[in-house]
Amino acid sequence: MNKWPDDDVILFDGVCIFCSRWVRFVAKRDSAKRFLFTPIQSDYGARLARAFGIDPADPDTNAVVHGGEVFMKSDAALTVLSQLPGWGWVRALFVVPKPLRDSVYSMVARNRYRIFGKYDACFVPDDDLRARVIE
């Protein structure tokens, strides 16, 4: 894949309650407002997903474009967290072997609807967050 034209974009499952809470968590702590968000159910999000090899109809990961690179699964979560004020310490978790981190991530991802629930449609962000959503 060529370099994605937009940077610091988080791709997420917009009908997943857990994923939507993740977006709110990040947005609340991202005082520099560096991250933008796109639900996989949007046109932009589906294009991004396909470019990364993610099936928009059955997403098994979130993703983030940061520094021109694409990160998925646990790498995406740790990359985002490590950019938030006060969360730089999570970089230490990169020493945990990726297969172990990703297996935990995948277990949560596979069961996210059953554990946390699912919206009937993409969640509607408040006005402040809406300005940071790309559709």
| HSE of 11, CA atoms in CB hemisphere, 13 A | 33
- 3-state SS, residue 101: helix
pTM: 0.89
- 3-state SS, residue 21: helix
Q: Work out the burial of residue 34: count CB atoms within 10 Å of its CB; fewer than 13 is exposed, 13-18 middle, 19 or more buried.
A: middle
Across 9-23, 99-113, 119-133, least confident range: 119-133
133 backbone dihedrals φ, ψ, rounded to 5°: -100, 130
In this structure, what token pair is assigned to residue 78? 């740790």
Tens of pLDDT, residues 65-116 = 999 899 999 999 999 999 999 999 999 999 999 999 999 999 998 898 888 8
